[in-house]
Structure 1
């Protein structure tokens, strides 16, 4: 599925089609000429400048491979990739949302790259990107880049209320600070009622999950004690602001809400700060970031890791050249450059120092590298998001409906979606 609501700002991409490129059909044996591979990268995943720099270096280092990069739109990409993988004319490398990999791998469309994991430094990959790229113990998706939510806050409102963001290390401290902000003349936090990725983090903090494997089937888990504790914390935090209980962070766009009013903090990717200052230039220099706090001071809160993996279609006739491209783009040198250029979290825990000078990206990396998670690892999770009973559950839980009944209903709906067709 598309990486939901990450909305990371970046310069628009351009397709770089190199003169003299031949078709990517046929085998790697081209009679002495360079092999041309077609690569699909997604809109706004990298800037045009980064793409051009990478390709220039790649072609200089690998003159036997020519890369034809084609930029794809997120809207409708799932159907397009599915059709390409089932055809005889697929591209040779495709960027996909990390949680899409299981769907493509289960259909036999993605190449098994398990034997390349060690060479690519897989032991250091971010858990939230590596796990969705693996199916039945085999690695199909190679982690590309990541992003996750942090707390974006108003420095001036924190100072006015006497709150020091640097001292907020635990969830209890966060609640106390937010309560103080809410009582000090500003809206303590703007947290929409249906921000289910944030709820997932609180549930994970408690040791629970949205769904669990039960034998050969999956079972919704929102009615477990762990999930109920996560929901209780969400309820307490959401009550310290004026966020709507029946919509998510996109309706209305929460960055625009923060720009217009006296909202002290929101939970968003750091790129949201740019949107805020675009709508209210007076807030330039007044926004800060810190990781979502966890239950104890030594561990940040769990966060959903959104981002992309790279896959090589099984039907590609240029597996070796495609792997060379993937190896370079996901290798340490270009991961450091990508993280710096795009304010992403790099794909390895050993590379997070690359964003130490970027406050927003550093706050992301502090959580994503240590406590980043993915949604339940099954190709059927897309069916859950299509129906999304978690959003309805959140609204019901926040509006005082029958909590026990709503927990059970939501879990049952997840169970049905995950086991449909079995």
Structure 2
């Protein structure tokens, strides 16, 4: 159906400089007007898919009359290749694949799409976890195949659901069937319906019992349900995700199933040691991008995207890209065999997004925002372009500067850090910056290992709940003099800076923070004459007004949202725990804390403006979907959710806004600040260069850029978020609080507090539940607490 090209986005394009895959539809297919219309609709829907565990769809359009789609490039190994070469996955890796693919399907189905061709070749094993690729245009391909050659199916034999084979309606349940087949293949090395001809596989899918093999619970039961011939009997992707992430995601903390899945992958995902990642060839530095007709053996290139000629010596196969074969097939009478072994080689009528074409010839484009070719970026006055000599360094620098960043590696984060590195290397041109991404769940373990003499950074990001312990342990360098001499440092929020001091010495600097608030629709508030509430009474009144006018619940109150629940407790003058005389004591049963809990749970039980359906749920496991679809009036979550909201509901762009969680009597309640600090590691031998890197990373301009890109709040005093939707949160940054820094806190926030909220909403005595919770909080917070 077309060809896939590896490319690097031009400077004028969104995500400038990132590697992308451009999938260009073959001209003969593109000339079908019905296909082009379906392609446009499908890709527009695909752009709404949350990017977690998928290859994000970045752009689409027409080039010389031919549709193209731009997706994120995933550096990884196809699951099919890994299993074929090295056998079944380990139990832990298999669990990660099952969780990641379920998370991807949850996002795909939430956008109204069905993948239709989920198979091992369309799952990439990357450093950050499994990623599902090649979704978004299967429906267009299917419609074209049915129109041009009746009787054909989109999909891969053995992974096509029974209802597809029978000509029935194709729904999300078809993807669930494919998920189960994929899990069995990855865990056992064989297909649940065996090997054989395409016709034999189809017959077994329709009439035979699958062979699931030895899978650990809960995978075994979920897979068996998902292989049901009745689509209605199969679990949904979200059910699978909750079952799997809930089983191992107890340490994830509050959030949605995606966050729980992320916690599972962060804590346990490891790329198989025998997985060979592809080597990405360098993008050549040329003065311009010549328009050279493609060679006769090269797939036809789009007219307005001329390739760099292969003879430059910079083209090379990219190995495994974020693309695979996605074909329509007839059913041959017998399989094609190569080397004496049956291969899954079908008779393709069209080959969409062919990885084979990519492996045959890599083509690079430098593309502007409007699709026209551009020259590579030129250097600004006083700087140097890539590949040219740099100005003299301000001082001798280290050969390598090691930087630890917390969380997953994403292309957006990498692009931001590449810009920081370019600035830094104007000062230290001979220093290579090595960025290591440390999963949040492994942060404390990595810091402890570094303190004990293991691998250590020069510069590190630190979660704000970990800073105090590292300062007290003597792990961080004293940067008092450097902070005093750094001109821009005086603009940081001095209250936040003071939190990073001990005995008058400074050991870290604040970077960013994110807080919870209450999301609402501006058009509904305007229509009903509502203003963002500033008290509990005002919030209830607004929720009731929405409920009466729109016929939907006024607000969501999910119980698995501890960090938002804490704001109701703090807003009533209470707390969850206090530390006295070296010991923690749970005080969630105090009169003030109980008042906050009763208000929150009373939104369901007393005021009846929040539905019971969210009891036991995360905010994105119901409330988010209902909010973006206009089925919920207000929704509590973090400031960082803006881009996700607008991606899920693009027609509502500009209509979502957020206001602070109100305190009982008025004003903004204190909020938990989920953010990070920056520090120089105490044992670094490159402290001067390390601090210089921090001044670039956390310059006022870069701080604002980071905050605006990721919907966080800058820690520079007086900086208001650029987006109108987030500006109201600026008033809460003065009362940001953190959680107890003790190992037992994880169980408190993920189990004890959500459990108490759910029990009270279901009718249990609030006094009894809070007294029980206070005792459990006291026990858990003091277990393993070292006093840091």
Q: What interval of TM-score do these two structures reach, taking the shorter chain for normalisation?
A: 0.7 to 0.9
Alignment correspondent of 2:184: none
* Structure 1 residue 211 corresponds to structure 2 residue 580: no
> Which residues in structure 2 correspond to 1:54-93 (within 5 Å)?
54-63=420-429, 65-93=431-459
CA distance in 2, matches of 1:63, 1:2: 40
Other-structure match for 1:240: 609
Q: For each residue in 1:177-227, what CA deviation from the matched residue of structure 2 results, as whole angstroms up to 9, or x when unmatched?
A: 112212221210122023221221122122222111121211111011110
Q: Deviations over 1:285-340 (max 9, x none)?
A: 4322222233455x322211111112333232222322222233223343233333
| CA RMSD, Structure 1 to Structure 2 (Å) | 3.5
Q: Is the 8 A contact 1:103 1:379 kept in 2?
A: no
Asked if 1:155 corresponds to 2:522, the answer is yes
Decide which of 268, 282, 286 is 2:655's aligned counterpart: 286
TM-score of the superposed pair, with normalisation by structure 1: 0.80
Alpha-carbon deviations, 1:355-400, whole Å to 9, x = none? 2x41233233232x22222123x33454544763111111122222
Q: Identify if the C-alpha distance between structure 1 residues 420 and 117 changes in structure 2 by more than 3 Å, giving closer, same or farther.
A: farther
Match of 2:513 in 1: 146
Superposed, 1:327-338 pairs within 5 Å as 327-338=695-706
Closer, same or farther: CA 277–243 of 1 in aligned 2, 3 Å: farther
Supply the distance in 1 between the matched residues of 2:432 and 2:253 (Cα, whole angstroms). Answer: 29
Residues 250/222 of structure 1: CA separation in 2 closer, same or farther (3 Å cut): same
SS at match of 1:186: coil
SS of 1:267's equivalent in the other structure is strand
Q: CA deviation at 1:146?
A: 0.9
In the alignment, is the contact (CA less than 8 A) between 2:398 and 2:689 conserved in 1? no
1:409 is aligned, of 768, 772, 776, to 772
Structure 1 residues 246 and 85: CA distance shift in structure 2, 3 A: farther
- TM-score for both structures, normalised by structure 2: 0.45
Given that residues 171 and 294 in structure 1 are in contact (C-alpha distance below 8 angstroms), is that contact kept between their aligned partners in structure 2? yes
* Alignment-derived partner of residue 28 in structure 1: none
Structure-2 separation of matches of 1:114 and 1:383: 32
Of 526, 530, 555, which residue of structure 2 is paired with 1:164? 530
Q: SS of the counterpart of 1:388?
A: helix
Q: Give the aligned partner of residue 763 of structure 2.
A: 400
Among residues 350, 373, 377, which one is paired with 2:737 in the alignment?
373
8 Å CA contact 2:602, 2:761 repeated in 1: no
**Corresponding residue SS for 1:218:** strand
Compare CA radii of gyration and give the structure with the larger one.
Answer: 2
Does structure 2 conserve the Cα–Cα contact (< 8 Å) formed by 1:129 and 1:374? no
Q: Is the 8 A contact 2:623 2:635 kept in 1?
A: yes
Cα 1:112–1:407, aligned 2, differ >3 Å: closer, same or farther?
A: farther
Structure-2 change in CA distance of 1:37 and 1:139 (3 Å) = same
Structure 2 counterparts to residues 18-417 of structure 1, below 5 A: 32=396, 34-42=398-406, 43=408, 47-63=413-429, 65-113=431-479, 118=484, 121=489, 124-125=492-493, 131=499, 133=500, 139-160=506-527, 162-166=528-532, 168-184=533-549, 185-238=551-604, 239-244=608-613, 246-250=615-619, 252=621, 254-297=623-666, 299-350=667-718, 352-353=719-720, 355=721, 357-367=722-732, 369-376=733-740, 378-380=741-743, 382-385=745-748, 388-417=751-780
| Contact in 2 for aligned 1:144/1:330 (Cα 8 Å) | yes
Change (3 A) 1:102 1:244: farther
State the distance in 2 between where 1:399 and 1:138 align: 50
Q: Deviations over 1:132-175 (max 9, x none)?
A: x5678865442111111122112343345x14235x33332122
Residues paired across the two proteins, number: 395
Deviations 1:230-257 (A, max 9, x none): 1122123344121545424256153223
Of structures 1 and 2, the one with the larger relative CO (CA 8 A, separation 6+) is 1
Counterpart CA distance in 2 for 1:135 and 1:114 is 10
Where in structure 1 are there 5+ consecutive unaligned residues? 9-14, 21-30
Contact 2:497 2:510 in 1 (8 A): yes
Conservation of the 8 A alpha-carbon contact between 2:661 and 2:668: yes
* Greater alpha carbon shift after TM alignment, 181-190 vs 78-87: 78-87
- Rounded Cα–Cα distance in structure 1 between residues aligned with 2:475 and 2:671: 29
1:39-87 CA-partner distances (Å, limit 9, x unpaired): 0223368633322222211221344754322334445344334323423
SS in 2 for 1:84: helix
The answer to whether the Cα contact below 8 Å between 2:657 and 2:726 also exists between their aligned partners in 1 is no
* In structure 2, distance between residues paired with 1:38 and 1:3: 29
- SS of equivalent to 1:314: coil
How many angstroms apart in 1 are the aligned matches of 2:581 and 2:461? 32
Separation in 1, partners of 2:503, 2:553: 46
